[in-house]
Amino acid sequence: MTLDRRNLLKLTAGAVTVAGAAVLTGAATGTAAAADTGLPPVPGMLGDRRANELWYQLDEIALYHQSQEVQDAYAVLFPFIQQNAPEGLYEKWRELSREPAYPKNYAEFAKPVEGPLRVLSKLQLDNFDHFYRGDEAGLVKAFAAFGQGILFDPRRAPEESEVHTMNGNPPSGYHFWHSVLRAQMALGIDRHRWARIDPMIGFGWALQSIAKPDHRHVNPGLPREQVRTLARYWLPRSPAELDRDFQSAPYPA
pLDDT in tens, 57-67: 999 999 999 99
Give the Å distances, CA to CA, from 122 to 10, 126, 250.
14, 6, 28
Work out the pLDDT band at 32, boundaries 50, 70, 90.
Answer: low
With respect to residue 141, please indicate whether it lies within any of the assigned structural domains.
yes
With respect to residue 12, please indicate whether it lies within any of the assigned structural domains.
no
With respect to residue 199, please indicate whether it lies within any of the assigned structural domains.
yes
Residue whose C-alpha is closest to residue 136's, from 11, 6, 235, 32: 235
With respect to residue 1, please indicate whether it lies within any of the assigned structural domains.
no
CA atoms within 13 A on the CB side of 103: 17
Whether the CB-CB separation of 14 and 137 falls below 8 Å is answered with no
In this prediction, residues 64-75 reach a mean pLDDT of 97
Determine the structural domain holding residue 202 and report its residue range.
18-23+43-245
Report how many domains make up the chain: 1
Give the Å distances, CA to CA, from 43 to 201, 212, 221, 240.
29, 25, 21, 43
Q: What is the pTM of this model?
A: 0.89
